[in-house]
Structure 1
Amino acid sequence: MQILKLSFDNLPSPYIKKCFAYCCIFPKDSKIERNMLIELWMGEGFLQTDVKSQTMMEEIGMNYLRILLQSSLFEEIIDESDYPSKTCYQMHDLVHDLSESMSKSTKVINDRDTCIVDNGDQIRYLAIDSFGGGEDRDKLLESLSTSLHTLFVNVDLSGDMLMKLKNLYVLNLSYTTTEELPVSIGKLIHLRYVNLKRSAIGILPDSLCKLYNLQTLTLSYSKVKDLPKGIRDLISLRHLHYDISDNDFQMPLEMGRLTCLQTLEFFNVGREKGRQIEELGSLKNLKGKLEIRNLELVKGKEGAEEAKLSEKANLFGLVLQWACEREGDDYNDEDVLDGLRPHPNLEELVIWNFMGDQFPHG
């Protein structure tokens, strides 16, 4: 422990120390997904950028992770339980104990704990598992309502209680059995991170679109079938983790207004203005993987060029999909594919249901 403490003391920045201490909110032996961890740190404001620097917060987070790995405080693993596999991090039990001892602002409540907190005015980060509930939980949340910045909870949370947490930055409701997200979430104007992964929530209220500071919205494997119409107003949104395999799904209008967006897992091309492929043209910061569907609705090479894929240097994976069943035989697939030329940095290209006779030259 003394050696580990020395590693912690030698971390080059107080922000990295905060990032490390924050990780005790996860249970021991947790596989902490890389992107989620960086997005949580970003939501808490730990990833400070220099005004003169062009470095993105996500890049700073990656640098912090490298430093924690080099200091032997983190271990990198590949989690293959999901598809695709993900890069994750684990902390040895002793390292977790160190993280816990370094954070006086974190409280984790489980079935062995009462909900009484003796240093309540210092608690900024709170995790409550399914055993922590009832009146005690509500009293605790009320007592922390002004100080709490992060809340991990997988039990029902009433709209009245949620509305009191006015200074919340991070709300993690993953795996919750709650079927409805309270409308009052729109009152939490400081929220930067909302995670509904694998939750039972099926409908997102329109009030969610009032969260103008929201940076990350995670809906992976949730019951959500539609995105709110006003999602174009989430002008700070950087990461939208959401995929639905329905080709008839209609994208919200004017997704192109989300100019900060880096993560967009799919885009279904629509017929009407505001849902056409040109919306992708404004999303200059897209990175990672993107799937574009319904390409039979794109009008020729010029229409396809409006997506400006050739300018998206940080896209490393691209899936291009046409409908498998189409009326008539007047296809323009070759022209459309020619207009969808990606940046040379692309590493992986998948094409579905292409009906052209040949691929573009050059």
Structure 2
Amino acid sequence: MHDLIIDLAMFMSKGFSYRLEVRESHEIERVRHLSYAREEFDVAHKFDPLKGAKCLRTFLPTSLNPYEKCYLSKQVLQVLLPSLRCLRVLSLSRYKNVNVLPDSIENLIHLRYLDLSYTALERLPDVLCGCKSLTKLPVDMRKLINLHHLDVSGTKIVEMPVQMGRLKSLRTLAAFDALQGNLKDKKDLKGFVLEWSDEDADDSLKEKDVLDNLQPCVNLEKLTIRSYGGTQFPNWLRDSSFFNIQVLRLKDCSYCWLMPPIGQLPALKKLRIKRMKLVKTIGVEFYGRNEDSPIQPFQSLEKLQFGEMAEWEEWVPSGSGSGGEYGPDFPRLQELFLKDCPKLRGSLLLACHLPCLKKLWVST
């Protein structure tokens, strides 16, 4: 069935989508979407079939090994790409020799998605943005009014250009360490990744201040916080007004010793917590219940994962219990994963109070 679906998809997209590896005749001027397997050396003649592809909208390399080192011909950067003026999606991710973009890249006025992650770029033309060694974004970032996705994960950026609030089309914003993003006003922002490039924090209070000021719009649906260096999570994370958050991931927050009180996020369905090295006890604070908010915690949570929690010893229920006034702590939880939590005691006892549990997976 899987092969049939693939064959159907290829048939329906024939003439508009093109893979360089598939040697079939195409009317190249009609092709809109290109994908190809990234190789160690992607030389210029590999892309010869694209001459005349004036309607191309997608330029997307793929790879089975995302960690391999790859190199792209400079001729592709300087000649081919600027000529593809209809491009909306452009990825140069993981090309290690991409350290500068030509000014002619500004010809791509329709560009909506740009992925320059894990390249060697240090500075960009004043019309674009990206990458791993990047320390500064161009002043004219505010002019990219059609930009939908901005990924600067793993960079050394310390501030954003002024008037970033003009980017009303921005929907996904991967982490930057700044206070000028005006994220509360970005009502179309659905996914948000906050990632610190250096796990070792020099000032935990400053880290928390930064995160407090990066409060996103309440319409957010997916949130990831990774390698955060503060000792406490932001105040806004406990706010039940974030009624749309469905997926939350907390990873490598190595200096936090308490869990955030996220039990009151009403739409939360998937929660993944990994490598929080200082956490020894998950207590009542986790559920977010208090006198002002007596709501049943985790009322929508279906999947809960804990991984590599080396010091975690105790998991305390909220106190309501399965027969309490507000019912069980996880009334809809179906899947519970506990991986590499060697010191945790009583997890199986807790599982007995999960009325909808279908899958329990424990490994060390």
- Kept in 2, the 8 Å contact 1:159–1:184? The answer is no
Matched, 1:261 2:240: no
User: Would the alpha carbon gap of residues 349 and 7 (structure 1) be closer, same or farther in structure 2, given more than 3 Å must change?
Assistant: closer
C-alpha distance in 1 between matches for 2:12 and 2:338? 34
1:1-362 map, 5 Å: 10=10, 104-107=87-90, 110-128=98-116, 130-133=121-124, 135=126, 137=128, 138=138, 140-144=140-144, 146-153=145-152, 154=155, 155-158=157-160, 160-173=162-175, 179-182=177-180, 184-199=182-197, 202-203=207-208, 204-206=210-212, 208-231=214-237, 232=239, 233-243=241-251, 244=253, 248-252=257-261, 255-265=263-273, 268-270=282-284, 274-275=288-289, 280-289=297-306, 294-296=314-316, 298-299=318-319, 301-302=321-322, 306-308=328-330, 311-317=332-338, 338-339=352-353, 343-348=357-362
Cα offset, 1:103, TM superposition: 7.9
| 2:165 counterpart SS class | helix
Write the letter of the residue equivalent to 2:110: Q
C-alpha distance in 2 between matches for 1:340 and 1:107? 46
Write the letter of the residue equivalent to 1:160: V
User: Would the alpha carbon gap of residues 160 and 240 (structure 1) be closer, same or farther in structure 2, given more than 3 Å must change?
Assistant: same
Cα offset, 1:245, TM superposition: 5.5
Identical residues among aligned pairs (%): 13
Write the letter of the residue equivalent to 2:122: F
Q: CA RMSD in A?
A: 5.2
| 1:132 counterpart SS class | coil
Cα offset, 1:237, TM superposition: 1.6
Cα offset, 1:116, TM superposition: 4.0
C-alpha distance in 1 between matches for 2:212 and 2:256? 23
Q: Which whole-Å deviations, capped at 9, do the CAs of 1:83-130 have from their partners, x for residues lacking one?
A: xxxxxx99999xxx9xx9898113468533134434443110124564
Q: Which whole-Å deviations, capped at 9, do the CAs of 1:267-312 have from their partners, x for residues lacking one?
A: 9323698348985441333344478875356548547962236x42
Match of 2:22 in 1: none
C-alpha distance in 2 between matches for 1:297 and 1:251? 15
Question: Which structure 1 segments of 5+ residues have no match?
Answer: 1-5, 30-72, 82-88, 325-331, 351-362
C-alpha distance in 2 between matches for 1:74 and 1:140? 30
Relative to total residues, which structure has the larger helix share, 1 or 2? Answer: 1
User: Would the alpha carbon gap of residues 143 and 257 (structure 1) be closer, same or farther in structure 2, given more than 3 Å must change?
Assistant: closer
| 2:207 counterpart SS class | coil
Cα offset, 1:143, TM superposition: 3.0
Cα offset, 1:186, TM superposition: 2.2
Q: Which whole-Å deviations, capped at 9, do the CAs of 1:31-73 have from their partners, x for residues lacking one?
A: xxxxxxxxxxxxxxxxxxxxxxxxxxxxxxxxxxxxxxxxxx9
User: Would the alpha carbon gap of residues 270 and 313 (structure 1) be closer, same or farther in structure 2, given more than 3 Å must change?
Assistant: closer
Deviates most, 337-346 or 163-172: 337-346
Write the letter of the residue equivalent to 1:286: K
Cα offset, 1:344, TM superposition: 3.8
Write the letter of the residue equivalent to 1:185: L
Write the letter of the residue equivalent to 1:306: P
User: Would the alpha carbon gap of residues 102 and 262 (structure 1) be closer, same or farther in structure 2, given more than 3 Å must change?
Assistant: farther
| 1:10 counterpart SS class | helix
User: What is the TM-score when the length of structure 2 is the normalising length?
Assistant: 0.54
- Kept in 2, the 8 Å contact 1:300–1:336? The answer is no
Write the letter of the residue equivalent to 2:333: K
| 1:282 counterpart SS class | coil
Number of corresponding residues: 273
Match of 1:63 in 2: none
C-alpha distance in 2 between matches for 1:180 and 1:279? 35
